[in-house]
Copies of this chain bind each other. A is one copy, B any other.
Amino acid sequence: MNQDYIKPDNWSIIEEGFNTERVKSSESLFSIGNGAMGQRANFEEHYSGATFQGSYIAGVYYPDKTKVGWWKNGYPEYFAKVLNAPNWIGINIEINGENLDLATCKSVSNFRRELNMKEGIYYRSFNAILQNGTEINVNVCRFLSLDLDEVGVINYEITPLNSDATIIFKPYLDAGVHNEDANWEEKFWEPISVAHDSNQAFVTARTFKTHFEATTFMQNSILLNDVLQDVKPVVTEQTDDKIMLAYNISVEKEQKVAIQKFGGYTVSTNHVNTFAAAKNIIEIALVVGYHQLFEDQKTEWGKIWKMSDITIEGDVKAQQGIRFNIFQLNQTYSGKDSRLNIGPKGFTGEKYGGSTYWDTEAYCIPFYMATKDQQVARNLLAYRYNQLQKAIENAEKLGFKNGAALYPMVTMNGEECHNEWEITFEEIHRNGAIAFAIFNYYRYTGDYSYIPEKGLEVLIGIARFWHQRATFSTQKNQYVILGVTGPNEYENNVNNNFYTNYIAKWCIDYAIEQIQVVENKYNSDYVRILNKVKLSQSEISEMKKVADNMYFPYSEEHDVYLQQDGFLDKELITVANLDKSQRPINQKWSWDRILRSPYIKQADTLQGFYFFEDHFTKEQLEKHFNFYEPFTVHESSLSPCVHSIQAAILNKMEMAYTFYLRTSRLDLDDYNKEVEEGLHITSMAGTWMSIVEGFGGMRVKNNALHFEPRIPKEWDGYSFKINFRNQILKVAVQQNETNFSLEGETAIPVFVNGKEILVEPNSLVTV
């Protein structure tokens, strides 16, 4: 663990005291987002210390030219990067002729940040003594409106404490921004125009290559003791990509002067004329007004929490952790826009690039399915449907044909942009999760319509890929899948990864099953789709042959499926017997040593048992868990959640609790010493699963909810809510009982430890 400066609190993330070494970490932890844009917790005023400036617009990316040491055939030409957008938050401050800069003040005291997760508002306050002796108190409040999602709001208040002061607010917009994660130090934005009009200013710029156009705008108001002032700004700086205004105001000691800045982006993905759209959205924001925007923000976050909150009693750190995870997931993706997805760092950093990984289907969809309207999960599925043609082209590049689809490892627009052959070309199991998510969506929501409408085409493309990717081994007289990387990225280019083979077989079986269902029940869709994809009965039979004769590596001796061929040739020393000085192995060992070791980065065979739990007995799960868990180093953020869930099923509650803590406070406690680069957004959905599916034991079987509630001995109780088929069920678990209640209209049956109970609307059932 690397930091402990975040104060435990049920609803807020709080930092007290100013420490220059924490600035970059806090910039990540206090990030805000509203699904359409995001902002690291950079200071508004100039800061000359170490900082990582980041403003992001959802869906806007730059195709950064690929950088490799040794080019290999098939590498993509570019890596689509989440790019740093023009700065709209900047407000330089001049006080009695001196620029405010926390890095150079004589002193900074009472420095405090609070990210109020209940309200979705970020507060910062401090007292500072400038080099010229002026002492000031500053209070800043910032949020990105959920209602008007192109608008961010800043209220920046200054009170001179020891003298009158001449204060110049210099709000600016700047498209001349730098990217932390650029391969070649290129500029990503090309300036188009700069305009201003009284209190408003606009910088329009266009991304190179992709030609996304964004107008970054601001509208400023000056208030003295909360009363609006008529201060005319002057333009103090204007270049082709930047504009800065200056508001000069003299205030008396202890008078509070404030600038209210509305800013944000209007983007060509949503508007034909981004400049006109910016003008328009400013008008709307001015009509609504600062106070109403502030109140609306609380209301909107209230609605989110009403549906998705998890409470934990008796353990503030655990409570803070899970709320932080839920909060960040909601900041990153609102589900409104099916062109968007859930980037691994959300709006908190640039590393990894792309916005879509298999994380979405494997980890995030269950969270959004249970805490949002089911349209949100459907939009996530449709995102892949909309990129099916690109997935087919991607497969063609690798030698597949006839409509076989390989979804990319990392993408922004459907094209592959990851470039490491052992992942890009070989971590093909991702295709399986995309099919699984379709199954999972139907299982949870009961909404079959997605499959004839869109899903079946995706399932067919994926099944075709697996059919062509398998090889018949005359040696084994079965189908094998050679040269893959499984979920455990500490193995590369292995043969017959159990997880991959298993999900490949399942994908083919499921696709064929759905073809039959659609043929029988949605025949016009069936005809339309089969005409489109030209799937013959003989191709279906060939596919089925592959699925029916898939090989799975298995050890008689241990009675477990083997992670891949040859796993037992390894030197099987458990993690517990590995010297602590050797960990984490990804920092201490060379890559070849990691590869030939038995150590598992993240759940792999067990990931298969997680997805297909009902295909195996609990005894089988236990055997596999006991076999693989001791070799698992969990050096991926996506690992502990699956282990936590399975430990809970197996009644290994101490283990389950340990894994839970590791996943839920990964960023708050900076386990991996990298939080300054941004947060681990997608694994946060895994934390949610650890509680709901792990401790709560929630499953959906035959259209009904099942629970096996368990509770860590450290907690007094916990509760969660889930949206199940448009009714909200609340489950509250305590040490000795579980309470169910329903916000909805229709009683639903719920199975608790296998026993059916009926939960009626608005009445409590205790078990």
- What is the interface of chain A, defined by CB distance below 8 A to chain B? 66-70, 72-74, 397-399, 419-421, 425-426, 471-476, 480, 482-483, 492-495, 557, 565-566, 568-572, 586-596
Quick check: A471 and B569 within 8 Å, CB to CB? Answer: yes
* A492 partner residues in chain B, CB cutoff 8 A: 492-493
Quick check: A399 and B590 within 8 Å, CB to CB? Answer: yes
Given contact pairs A493-B595, A592-B483, A473 touches B69 in the complex (Cβ within 8 A)? no
Quick check: A73 and B589 within 8 Å, CB to CB? Answer: yes
> What is the bound-complex CA distance between A535 and B569, given in angstroms?
28
Given contact pairs A474-B568, A483-B592, A69 touches B72 in the complex (Cβ within 8 A)? no
> What is the bound-complex CA distance between A565 and B474, given in angstroms?
15
Given contact pairs A398-B590, A493-B595, A592-B425, A569 touches B73 in the complex (Cβ within 8 A)? no
> What is the bound-complex CA distance between A594 and B72, given in angstroms?
11
> What is the bound-complex CA distance between A426 and B69, given in angstroms?
17
Quick check: A483 and B595 within 8 Å, CB to CB? Answer: yes
Q: Supply 18 further A-B pairs (C-beta < 8 A) apart from A68-B68, A399-B593, A483-B592.
A: A66-B69, A73-B586, A73-B587, A73-B589, A74-B590, A74-B592, A398-B590, A425-B590, A425-B591, A471-B596, A472-B571, A473-B568, A473-B570, A474-B568, A474-B572, A475-B568, A476-B569, A483-B595
* A73 partner residues in chain B, CB cutoff 8 A: 586-591, 594
> What is the bound-complex CA distance between A66 and B626, given in angstroms?
42
* A426 partner residues in chain B, CB cutoff 8 A: 592
Quick check: B482 and A566 within 8 Å, CB to CB? Answer: yes
In the complex formed, the residue of B with least CB distance to A183 is B69
Given contact pairs A569-B482, A587-B73, A421 touches B592 in the complex (Cβ within 8 A)? yes
Quick check: A569 and B473 within 8 Å, CB to CB? Answer: yes
* A72 partner residues in chain B, CB cutoff 8 A: 590-591
- Copies per complex of this chain: 2
* A495 partner residues in chain B, CB cutoff 8 A: 566, 569
Instruction: Give the top 7 A-B pairs by smallest Cβ distance, nearest first.
Output: A74-B590, A425-B592, A483-B596, A68-B69, A482-B596, A473-B569, A475-B568
Residue contacts A-B, CB under 8 angstroms, 12 given: A66-B69, A68-B68, A69-B69, A72-B590, A73-B594, A397-B590, A398-B590, A421-B592, A476-B569, A482-B569, A483-B596, A566-B566
Quick check: A471 and B565 within 8 Å, CB to CB? Answer: no
> What is the bound-complex CA distance between A593 and B421, given in angstroms?
11
Among A69, A480, A587, find the residue whose CB has the most chain B CB atoms closer than 10 A: A69
A78 to chain B, nearest CB (A): 12
Quick check: A419 and B590 within 8 Å, CB to CB? Answer: no
A11 to chain B, nearest CB (A): 39
> What is the bound-complex CA distance between A590 and B495, given in angstroms?
18
* A420 partner residues in chain B, CB cutoff 8 A: 69-70
Quick check: A591 and B74 within 8 Å, CB to CB? Answer: yes
* A589 partner residues in chain B, CB cutoff 8 A: 73-74, 399
Quick check: B592 and A471 within 8 Å, CB to CB? Answer: no
Among A73, A425, A592, find the residue whose CB has the most chain B CB atoms closer than 10 A: A592
Q: Which of B66, B419, B475, B590 contacts A569 (CB 8 A)?
A: B475
Given contact pairs A493-B493, A590-B425, A591-B421, A566 touches B565 in the complex (Cβ within 8 A)? yes
In the complex formed, the residue of B with least CB distance to A400 is B593
> What is the bound-complex CA distance between A591 and B485, given in angstroms?
14
Quick check: B568 and A565 within 8 Å, CB to CB? Answer: no
* A67 partner residues in chain B, CB cutoff 8 A: 67-69
* A398 partner residues in chain B, CB cutoff 8 A: 590, 592-593
A593 to chain B, nearest CB (A): 5
A39 to chain B, nearest CB (A): 28
* A593 partner residues in chain B, CB cutoff 8 A: 398-399
> What is the bound-complex CA distance between A592 and B424, given in angstroms?
9
Given contact pairs A67-B67, A68-B69, A482 touches B570 in the complex (Cβ within 8 A)? yes
* A595 partner residues in chain B, CB cutoff 8 A: 482-483, 493
Among A425, A492, A591, find the residue whose CB has the most chain B CB atoms closer than 10 A: A591
> What is the bound-complex CA distance between A419 and B591, given in angstroms?
12
* A483 partner residues in chain B, CB cutoff 8 A: 592, 595-596
In the complex formed, the residue of B with least CB distance to A476 is B569
* A591 partner residues in chain B, CB cutoff 8 A: 72-74, 421, 425
* A586 partner residues in chain B, CB cutoff 8 A: 73
> What is the bound-complex CA distance between A475 and B555, given in angstroms?
10
* A74 partner residues in chain B, CB cutoff 8 A: 589-592
> What is the bound-complex CA distance between A72 and B398, given in angstroms?
25
> What is the bound-complex CA distance between A110 and B681, given in angstroms?
71
> What is the bound-complex CA distance between A483 and B595, given in angstroms?
7
* A571 partner residues in chain B, CB cutoff 8 A: 471-472
